[in-house]
Amino acid sequence: MTITVIIPTLNEEQTIEHTLSRLHDPAFSEILVVDGGSHDQTLARVATAAPHARILLGTKGRARQMNSGAAASEADVLLFLHADTLLPLTAAGDMITTLQDPRTIGGRFDVRFDRDSGWYWLICRMMNWRSRLTGIVTGDQALFVRRPVFEAVGGFPDIPVMEDIALSKQLKRVGRIAALKSCVLTSSRRWTRQGVARTILLMWWMRLLFFVGVSPDKLKQLYIDAR
């Protein structure tokens, strides 16, 4: 079973090297970094940290960048990884074991913040609990999916936000999405910069508006990029 890791980037010089350092397992047959127009040292640091990785230049927009990476891959499985998220060392083996079940079309990992105490501890546990309850996956949880299934549902919808939630809703209709207990470690920078309480309220409000049909283009106006 071959796995392509697809990482969308935009000005991620502070995080990308550390993220790439966790991708040495031979099962990761290909690493695709799809850049949306970085003007910092992101691409130079990719070339240094992972000279075997392929760098693709794409149109800015996480959904578009991830779709571009998927279109360039011929692997059995696609793993979509945020540039500020570290996979567990067991990630490849966990994925392969999970996908031995033909009923399972993909999965995601549990998530922890790099600050795992207080409110940050609680937020992650609630995110993982909600995901298990609803079957909805967020990008921080490192979604992986069989490539034929991803192509069959049309990939990520071309929307500026909530593309991960929209795709996982589609995938739920096709087959089982596994909730792995092994954890990815993701940056708490957005929560720290904007304030924990404010970020919780903002994310829940955006998700509610999305589910009642508010346009993602309008929701994008509420979203604050932490980079």
pLDDT per residue as tens digits for the range 45-62:
999 999 999 999 988 999
What value does the mean pLDDT take over residues 79-102? Answer: 97
Contact 146, 73 (CB under 8 A): no
Angle in degrees, CA 40, 219, 133, rounded to 5: 100
Element (DSSP H or E) covering residue 177: strand 176-186
We report the CATH number of the domain holding residue 167 as 3.90.550.10
What value does the mean pLDDT take over residues 154-161? Answer: 91
What value does the mean pLDDT take over residues 141-163? Answer: 94
**Residue span of the structural domain in which 50 resides:** 3-220
Report the domain count for the chain. 1
- 225 domain residue, yes or no: no
* Rounded Cα gap, residues 179 and 142, in angstroms: 11
- 226 domain residue, yes or no: no
What's the pLDDT band for 127 if we cut at 50, 70, 90? confident
- Nearest CA to 227 among 64, 13, 4, 3? 13
- 27 domain residue, yes or no: yes
> Residue 191 pLDDT > 80, yes or no?
no
Report pLDDT for 70: 98
Contact 177, 138 (CB under 8 A): no
29 CB-side CA count, 13 A:
11
- 86 domain residue, yes or no: yes
- 69 domain residue, yes or no: yes
- 197 domain residue, yes or no: yes
| φ and ψ at residue 165, rounded to 5 degrees | -65, -40
State the burial class of residue 139 (Cβ atoms within 10 Å of its Cβ: 0-12, 13-18, 19+). buried
**Tokens 């708490």 sit at which residue?**
188
What's the pLDDT band for 179 if we cut at 50, 70, 90? very high
How far, CA to CA in Å, does 146 sit from each of 18, 65, 86, 126, 209? 26, 18, 21, 27, 30
Model confidence pLDDT, tens digit, residues 9-28? 999 999 999 999 999 999 99
pTM here? 0.89
Retrieve residue 94's tokens. Answer: 């966990």
80 CB-side CA count, 13 A:
31
Q: What is the DSSP string of 87-147?
A: PPTTHHHHHHHHTTSTTEEEEEEEEEESS-SHHHHHHHHHHHHHHHHH----GGG--EEEH
Retrieve residue 142's tokens. Answer: 């490192």
